[in-house]
């Protein structure tokens, strides 16, 4: 049976991910009972997770109601994207000499699977597969401190993609991002370091500020 600590971490990860993909909106109330029922676990790890998330400034206590997400201002989000861009660009350039043909094939597979997810308007799969795509080269950068920094940034409640209801506009933005992925694979094949750095600068430009 999992310990309370591991269950607490599961709850923390779930809440953060739900915030990232807009499953929990900024004005939405979440409660202990709700999470206990969703995860089929006892109150203790849920309560500990909510306390932890509140102390980290991710949630705020709403008297007699439960908890709500702390709003994050646009500048903080854009500053975080600048960090993502810088760190992922560095990871990509370090990974160039470590990526195999199998790795590049896996990246192409994720591109195809993302296209299928978008065709069927499955935004949840998009977020999952987009992370998988980027993790192929992040995990091959051969720099554990850098990987740790990226993982810590990913663990924040700020998503590294656009969020919102799965509208045609959001799907179109996702499609643009996935089109970019083809170019990145080509740049890896050519071992084009300058091109990879420029790619990440442009890929992380926020074209739709209202969807972050």
DSSP state of 70: P
- What's the pLDDT score for residue 3? 58
- What's the pLDDT score for residue 107? 98
Characterize 170-203 residue by residue with b for buried, 16 or more Cβ atoms within 10 angstroms of its Cβ, and e for exposed: bbebbeebbeebeebbebbeeeeeeebbebbeeb
Domains 4-69 and 74-211 equal at CATH topology level:
no
- What's the pLDDT score for residue 156? 83
pLDDT < 50 regions, the chain:
1
- What's the pLDDT score for residue 162? 76
Domain ranges of the chain: 4-69, 74-211
- pTM (2 d.p.): 0.83
- 3 state DSSP class of 78: helix
- What's the pLDDT score for residue 19? 86
- What's the pLDDT score for residue 26? 77
Given this structure, which CATH class describes domain 74-211?
A: mainly alpha
| CATH, domain 4-69, list 1.10.10.10, 2.60.40.4070, 3.10.20.30, 3.30.70.20 | 1.10.10.10
Q: Which residues pair with 66 in a beta bridge?
A: 62
């Amino acid at each position: 049976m999992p310990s309370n600590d591991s269950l607490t971490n599961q709850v923390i990860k779930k809440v953060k991910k739900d915030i990232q993909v807009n499953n929990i909106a900024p004005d939405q109330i979440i409660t202990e009972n709700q999470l206990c029922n969703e995860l089929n676990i006892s109150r203790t790890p849920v309560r500990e997770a909510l306390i932890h998330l509140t102390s980290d400034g991710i949630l705020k206590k709403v008297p007699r109601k439960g908890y709500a997400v702390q709003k994050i201002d646009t500048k903080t989000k854009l500053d975080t994207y600048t960090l993502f861009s810088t760190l992922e660009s560095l990871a990509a350039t370090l990974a160039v000499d470590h990526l195999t043909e199998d790795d590049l094939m896996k990246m192409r597979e994720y591109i195809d699977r993302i296209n299928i997810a978008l065709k069927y308007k499955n935004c949840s799969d998009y977020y999952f597969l987009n992370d998988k795509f980027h993790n192929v080269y992040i995990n091959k950068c051969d720099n554990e401190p850098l990987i740790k920094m990226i993982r810590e940034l990913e663990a924040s409640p700020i998503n590294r993609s656009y969020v919102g209801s799965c509208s045609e506009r959001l799907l179109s933005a996702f499609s643009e991002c996935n089109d970019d992925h083809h170019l990145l694979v080509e740049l890896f094949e050519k071992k084009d370091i300058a091109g990879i750095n420029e790619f990440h600068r442009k890929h992380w430009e926020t074209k739709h500020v209202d969807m972050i």
